A and B are shown apart, each in its own frame.
Chain A
């Protein structure tokens, strides 16, 4: 039986007082405990950013990688040992900016990993430049005349890319968020939870007050209905006063690991013996003279 504290390193998080990421940290911890994940069998992988420091807050295995590359690292871990619980955490810059290509391809693969993106619509660690989800017109340190790019729509992008569990949460609703994360981890396939997680230091637009005003919980929605899910995914883009939280889309399709020939029959790469001289001789046989 693992208790909440069995998951936490006890290291003081680096987040500013009042940062949204505290709520995400407790929600992830609660989800781990609810699912009774073995910390020694769990790997938390991240890139770089304030939010990406989170692996240090857990008492699990962790890889705190480089900016934008958390997913490829996590995919490598999962392919090598598909018995591990692999959870990726990071920011909007990490996931939707520098690492965007990896997000789309991980979604296509439907690899059985859970990705929690703490979306504060800003680059926090580098002290407040615009991110791919910053609002159109938003003034930031790097956009004194306002953002002139349309923000990424993570929900529609993820659904279109093939992610099989697409949800949005709010760090101000940690219990609700913990449920989303828990179900995401239980889900077989690539699950993504985009979390509205306000930055109290650098984003004066997407504040907790703003979020409380626009966020509402999805009810009576069928997440298996692709066109309804897409409709929900576009809602905020069309009406910035409505940011839905909850499960938008879920589909049931084979995971990457299930389709990978080297893992057929629940094989675990890391537990297999290395090839022996006889195997190599049979490869060499093709080249006999």
Chain B
């Protein structure tokens, strides 16, 4: 076989997540591509959680549509996780729970899958205590998958490098699991190592990508699912990037604007609720022409919504938030590699065009893990029109054809200016008070506003704004999507192919500004289905607004779970056959 999916279930606080990460890393060391995701709730202990790890010798795009092995250490873990089980699935549970065959048969409506009770807890206690239960499971799965014992040992040593005294017992626990009596085998053939080097979450990639892009300042108030970005920066304090947790998100973004004004690459991050608080200052960055980057990791809305669940419901909000018109850029990376690489694009665009750049991700992208490869040496830095030669008549907001004006930073001799949130002239002097409404005031307002807005045309012309990715350009029907929903669409292409349907994908990652004419001609004359994770088809609306193309069919998901290739392909099939 070339693809295996394992789900480990248990209660919140049981350490399922770290166990699954160890397993994922060990699988990665065996040369497989790994894709994983955890499901959890907004409580600290209790509640049923799971972590799913999928491994393959090919590139994966999702956590899969079915489960090969479900391991649960409690009854709820079985009860809540039977949906993706089928005839070929295997369920492993702690034999302490009794014989669960009957229950499973009922839950799966007679699918007759195999199930095994194994004395997981007892064996863990033999090694040193119940906390070794998870490592025992890792060993057990390692054996079933045919992972090398070495890969498991070295993973344990790396993961617990800072707690060396727990390493021996964990190794013993893994070995006990590895030698447990079980003749189950789900072995993937390794063709060749694909060259994946790292196991990262999207948020890891965002943080490391930002550091690689020269970011020196990160401010964030904790909010799921963006918090692990701040945790990364906090854990790496004293390594060259300053991290601040201020009193609220308003402070976070205003500090970021201050730091960026003083010449460092600066960023803040949050989810939709925190972004709501940042909205006024977003416009400030637009008006002062200060380059900042904002990470917005979406969760289910509105309001507090679904704090631990995914959605793409903030697209129209971030592309239009704050009063008045000003240039901004919204980038929605599609996968973990793009999370890493788009950070340097985001900072380069912010500094070249002196405007805020929003990187729009979501809970699924933030938190799922994947083995990837990235190359930091390929990153280029472009700091834009920074000037440092003293000038008599320095016009910070000089009206230029491109809309881009020379920028000086405090401390630079002879280039002082005031950056005002009020409308202003080329020097930064107010055009909002005595000048407002005078013929000169009206003229400067018109010219300055148009200057700022021209930067949008300039960045489109410069090629800074990428066109959508097109997969299968000669397909009969296209899924139009963006950001993290893209992967499931790509996977759906294969499923549809098996049903004789030639489907393609048109996926946006640069959401705003849009190449109006080019997008229009790309989409014209094609059969299109919008696929995204929100209720109101926000991408469709954005496309209609800017490219004038109406997409009638839509596959929308807003239950908090990531859209799957199975859901997409089944709905595509329905849409195709209803006409």
Specify whether A and B are partners.
yes
Contact with A along B192-212 (1 / 0, CB 8 A): 000011111000100010011
Docked pose: A264 CA to B242 CA in angstroms: 11
Q: A262-B241, A269-B264, A279-B211 are in contact. Are A63 and B418 (CB under 8 A)?
A: yes
Q: Which residue of A lies closest to B283 (CB)?
A: A66
Is A127 on the interface with B (CB-CB < 8 A)? no
B240 touches A76 (CB 8 A): no
Is B177 on the interface with A (CB-CB < 8 A)? no
Q: Which residue of B lies closest to A104 (CB)?
A: B247
Report which of A69, A275, A277, A288 forms a contact with B158, defined as CB distance below 8 A: A288
Report which of A53, A75, A277, A283 forms a contact with B258, defined as CB distance below 8 A: A75
A62 touches B258 (CB 8 A): no
CB distance from B365 to the nearest CB of A (A): 17
Docked pose: A76 CA to B266 CA in angstroms: 9
Docked pose: A106 CA to B251 CA in angstroms: 11
Report which of A14, A40, A78, A289 forms a contact with B416, defined as CB distance below 8 A: A40
8 Å CB interface, B258-282 against A: 258-266, 280-281
Residue tally, chain A, CB below 8 Å to B: 59
Is A226 on the interface with B (CB-CB < 8 A)? no
Docked pose: A66 CA to B415 CA in angstroms: 23
Is B497 on the interface with A (CB-CB < 8 A)? no
Is A73 on the interface with B (CB-CB < 8 A)? yes
Q: How large is the interface on B (under 10, 10 to 19, 20 to 34, 35 or more residues)?
A: 35 or more
Docked pose: A136 CA to B237 CA in angstroms: 47
Chain B CB within 10 A, most for which of A65, A72, A77, A263: A72
A76 touches B237 (CB 8 A): no
**Partner-contacting stretch, out of A80-88, A179-187, A229-237:** A80-88
Report which of A72, A80, A279 forms a contact with B264, defined as CB distance below 8 A: A80
CB distance from A194 to the nearest CB of B (A): 21
Contact with B along A41-62 (1 / 0, CB 8 A): 1111100100001011011111
Docked pose: A289 CA to B193 CA in angstroms: 12
Is B433 on the interface with A (CB-CB < 8 A)? yes
- For A277, list chain B residues within 8 Å (CB): 212, 376-377, 379
Docked pose: A4 CA to B101 CA in angstroms: 89
A53 touches B430 (CB 8 A): yes
Chain A CB within 10 A, most for which of B254, B284, B376: B254
Report which of B25, B239, B374, B409 forms a contact with A289, defined as CB distance below 8 A: B25
- For A105, list chain B residues within 8 Å (CB): 246-247, 251
CB distance from A86 to the nearest CB of B (A): 9
B418 touches A61 (CB 8 A): yes
B421 touches A79 (CB 8 A): no
Docked pose: A165 CA to B3 CA in angstroms: 66
B241 touches A62 (CB 8 A): no
Report which of A63, A284, A288, A289 forms a contact with B288, defined as CB distance below 8 A: A63
Q: A53-B430, A60-B416, A289-B197 are in contact. Are A77 and B262 (CB under 8 A)?
A: yes
Contact with B along A114-150 (1 / 0, CB 8 A): 0000000000000000000000000000000000000
Is B83 on the interface with A (CB-CB < 8 A)? no
CB distance from B159 to the nearest CB of A (A): 10
Q: Which residue of A lies closest to B265 (CB)?
A: A274
Is A252 on the interface with B (CB-CB < 8 A)? no
Docked pose: A56 CA to B418 CA in angstroms: 6
- On B, residues with C-beta under 8 Å from A are 25, 28-29, 34, 158, 196-200, 204, 208, 211-212, 214, 216-217, 219, 236-242, 244, 246-248, 250-252, 254-266, 280-281, 284, 288, 371, 374, 376-377, 379, 381, 409-422, 428-430, 433-434
- What are 27 A-B interface contacts by the 8 Å CB criterion? A43-B410, A62-B428, A63-B261, A64-B419, A65-B254, A65-B421, A72-B250, A73-B258, A76-B256, A76-B257, A76-B259, A76-B260, A79-B217, A81-B264, A84-B262, A84-B410, A101-B251, A261-B238, A262-B241, A262-B242, A274-B381, A283-B239, A284-B376, A288-B197, A288-B198, A289-B25, A289-B196
State the 5 A-B residue pairs at the shortest beta-carbon distance, nearest first. A76-B258, A289-B28, A274-B214, A62-B418, A72-B254
- On A, residues with C-beta under 8 Å from B are 9, 11, 14, 39-45, 48, 53, 55-56, 58-66, 69, 72-81, 83-84, 101-102, 104-105, 260-264, 269-270, 272, 274-275, 277, 279-281, 283-284, 287-289
